[in-house]
Chains A and B, each alone.
Chain A
Amino acid sequence: MELDLAFLIATVIKMGLYFTIVLTFVAYAVYAERRFSAIIQDRVGPNRTMIPTSILGFKNDIKLPLGGLTQPIADGLKFILKEDFTPAHVRKHFFWLAPCMTMVPSLITIAVIPFSSPIAIEGRDVPLSMAIADLNVGPLFIFAISSLAVYGIAIAGWASNSKFPFLGGIRASAQMISYEIALGLSIIPVLLVFGELNLGRIVQEQSVNGWLILPLWNEGGHILSGGFWDAGGLQQWILWLPMMLAFIIFTISIFAETNRTPFDLAECETELVGGYHTEYSSMKFALFFLGEYAAMVIGSALIVTMFLGGWSLPFGWSNAEWLASGGIIATFIHLGCFLTKVIGFILFFILVRWSIPRFRYDQLMKLGWVIFFELALINIVLTALIIAKPALDKEGPIAFWAALAALAAFSAFVFYLAKTIDNQVGPGKRVAPVKAKPAPVN
């Protein structure tokens, strides 16, 4: 295999650029979180951090009206300079291994996300993708690698060798395994529509035909092509329903998967002190923190890529000749567009964290297994039916409606079943205490 020098150089540049972007995002997401929560709670938040030149021997600190923008740097320095304390009772190897195993997977998943439109390079017949690795299994790669982050959390809880971290670790891993199912199933309708697992091409298609959950500016028809869909009109909104459902399930599952409030049961301080990282300090704690926020950034990026058109500009502007031809300026405009959308989503994550109270653990599990799992399954069949409607109509005029009615009946049955089984007394169910007979009066 001959080495493609341009490709190698471009890959190295992309890796450097994207890691810088994501790490900066992580640092400033923490800052944004603090300022945003301060606004919500009518406080000021960290707004006075400046550049501490006095510790370098200068007479005064530089007092610039930065609004606390240097706060992340101060936080980072603090993490590095604090004492790195390893308690005596921990399982040392695993204790050291766990933070890395949480952070590394979340950073690896950057590899398949297309940050911008492909660049056309002279001498290459295929334009250079702006994802680090333009894999044909994009979303699966992200799920596979991010599912490895569970090990870090589970091991952190176990290696700490004390009970609250252990409970936190167990909770986190159970939660992440459960919601992976809802997460994986909820995007299958999306993949059915695109017929594609390559994130780059998914975005490309959305750029031409309109974003998946905002199909407003496509000319006559939905993202799907074919006779039935090209007719335009109301038909495109039929498919919008299952897509919206997929979007909602996916977004909420991402909240659970990244252990964010309202699903941060793994580090719920009212019950578990600090959760799986109770025993951690200094940089090792910072790595957990980093991994969590990186997972949030990647989660937002994935949602944006699949449902909100990735790097494409709204209203089909990306289809303009000078933007679609793949020049370097177009790439930067699209990069800006993508990052703007991701920032918007991160702010949404923060808004939810500070406005919705935490769930109870059994509610969380019920939501995942009883509601999202079934809904996602039904959604898959519904989408398949809608896509197959043109073919079904050839079989007979009522074939589609009969299938739809069967699906509705089946869904009702499934939910009825889930509900009745759920109401039975079983393990993990609270049994109403038997009322003690009142003591006989004399």
Chain B
Amino acid sequence: MPQVLFYLFSVLAVLSACLMVIVKNPVSSALWMVGAFVGMAALFVGLNAYFVGIIQILVYAGAIMVLFVFIIMLLDLKAEEKRVWKPANIAAGAVVPTILLLQILGVLLKSDFEPFQELDLKTAATAHQQASLDLYQEKAKKAGEEFDPADVPVGKIQANLEDNQLPDVHLVGRTVFAGRADKAASQSFGFDDTSNNLPLQVMGVLLVVATIGVVVLSKKGSPAKSN
């Protein structure tokens, strides 16, 4: 991403986050938070993580914050607008971020960053092809079969790379869902090839439990029981 865009969106994100805290009207506050989410999503997109960026908008800005705005509107909070900040609140609000900022600064100053490199998809494409060729060759050797490079199927990741596009959705899917991660992809992109399938399933169970909890809690006061 051109640097101009990076600065534009990071300013958008930071400014909206600040305004979200400062503004007194709860609805404006919620809307500024949406602005912050959109800025963050744009930063993700700038890092070539299209999928994460879009999911950020879809889930946070498009679903969760809509419910927030919805509830705030229904409650029609007038008292919030008249509230005056106490000095203690302001002091706490200033001290905690300052400490966090110092911490981040400390880490940034200590760490040694390599210069930024554009993602080279052509190299990745050849590397990926070579890696999958190797894998199939190994497989054929184990099975004691004749190896023919023409037999190696062209996967979606390979096709994407050859179209000069980063197959980020496929890579995320492979890493998260695959029982065993895609060896060719993990070799050519340099992430470790442990499977994340179990954590994913645990998270699924957690979400189901949360959903059931919500249903049980919200059903409690229904007229069905009081009748």
Q: A residues bordering B, Cβ < 8 Å?
A: 1, 94, 125-126, 134-137, 140-141, 143-145, 147-148, 150-151, 154-155, 157-158, 166, 169-170, 173-174, 177, 180, 195-198, 201, 424-427, 431
Contacts and interface: CB of A to CB of B under 8 A. Distances in A.
Given A170-B74, A197-B169, A140 B54 contact: yes
B66 to A, nearest CB: 5
Given A1-B2, A136-B160, A147 B66 contact: yes
Interface stretch (B92-100, B142-150, B181-189, B219-227): B219-227
B48 to A, nearest CB: 10
A136 B2 contact: no
A82 B151 CA distance: 69
A137 B51 contact: yes
Contact of B27 (A1, A143, A155, A197): A155
7 contacts: A136-B168, A140-B54, A140-B58, A143-B58, A158-B27, A180-B62, A198-B165
Interface string B63-85: 10011011001100000000000
A208 to B, nearest CB: 13
B136 interface: no
Contacts of B63: 147, 177, 180
Given A154-B69, A426-B222, A144 B62 contact: yes
B166 A136 contact: yes
A135 B216 CA distance: 41
Given A135-B50, A136-B165, A140-B51, A151 B69 contact: yes
A136 B171 CA distance: 12
A220 B131 CA distance: 32
Nearest to B219: A426
Contact of A141 (B54, B67, B73, B74): B54
A148 B67 contact: no
A177 B57 contact: no
Please classify the interface of chain B as helix (H, G, I), strand (E, B), loop, or mixed, using the class held by over half of its residues: helix
Given A134-B165, A148-B57, A170 B34 contact: no
B61 interface: yes
A427 B57 CA distance: 32
A169 B76 CA distance: 14
B31 interface: yes
Given A140-B58, A145-B57, A148-B57, 19 more contacts: A125-B164, A136-B165, A144-B62, A147-B63, A150-B62, A150-B66, A151-B66, A155-B27, A155-B69, A158-B73, A170-B74, A173-B70, A174-B70, A177-B63, A195-B156, A198-B165, A424-B224, A426-B219, A431-B223
Interface of B: 2, 27, 31, 34, 50-51, 54-55, 57-58, 61-63, 66-67, 69-70, 73-74, 118, 156, 160, 163-169, 219, 222-224, 227
Given A151-B34, A154-B69, A173-B70, A427 B223 contact: yes
Contacts of B73: 154, 157-158, 166, 169-170
Contacts of B50: 135-137
What 4 A-B pairs come out closest when comparing CB atoms? A147-B62, A144-B58, A144-B57, A158-B73
A154 B167 contact: no
Nearest to B73: A158
Contacts of A180: 62-63
A136 B66 contact: no
Contacts of A137: 50-51, 54, 169
A177 B58 contact: no
A38 to B, nearest CB: 38
B66 A177 contact: yes
A87 B141 CA distance: 80
Q: Which of A135, A157, A169 has the most CB of B within 10 A?
A: A135
Contacts of B51: 136-137, 140
A11 to B, nearest CB: 14
A427 B167 CA distance: 46
Contacts of A94: 27
A148 B61 contact: yes
A201 B63 CA distance: 28
A427 B70 contact: no
A147 B70 CA distance: 14
Contacts of A157: 73
Contacts of B166: 136
Nearest to B57: A144
B214 to A, nearest CB: 14
A1 B34 CA distance: 30
A195 B159 CA distance: 12
Contacts of A177: 63, 66-67
Q: Which of A136, A158, A170, A197 has the most CB of B within 10 A?
A: A136
Contacts of A158: 27, 73
Contacts of A1: 2, 118
A416 to B, nearest CB: 17
A170 B62 contact: no
A12 B93 CA distance: 45
A151 B70 contact: no
A154 B66 contact: yes
